[in-house]
Amino acid sequence: MSALITIKGRLRKEDEQGKNSCRRLRTRGEVPANLLDNAKSTALAIEAKLLPIAWKKGKTFQLEFNGTVKSVLIKELQIDPVKRDALHVDLMYA
């Protein structure tokens, strides 16, 4: 089994949530994400350039945020139909 890649993420602030804020995140090379855990969801912004590699390598990767590294699984990935860029991703703990 190959080693899992590590993708850096950060928590999104209250003013970074919404349609326009998500567009600004994408222009900076980040993808808006939600980390789903039991009954709550955490809004994150993760690096976009390594996300396709994680998708092709089994949809599991190491997520580094808040000083911790945890293994996560891509539950849903939304892709732009024309540009083929990631628009949004939902993650779960693996």
Cα–Cα distance for residue pair 49/80, rounded to 1 Å: 15
Q: Which residues pair with 67 in a beta bridge?
A: none
Residues 6+ apart with CB under 8 A from 84: none
What three-state secondary structure class fits 26?
helix
Task: Please identify which residue in the block is written with the tokens 């349609």.
Answer: 19
- What confidence tens digit (pLDDT) does each residue in 16-74 have? 889 999 999 999 999 999 999 988 999 999 999 999 999 998 999 999 999 999 999 99
Cβ(7)–Cβ(61) below 8 Å: yes
**All structural domains of the chain:** 6-93 (2.40.240.10)
pTM of the model: 0.89
Chain centroid to CA 83: how far? 18
Position 16 scores a pLDDT of 82
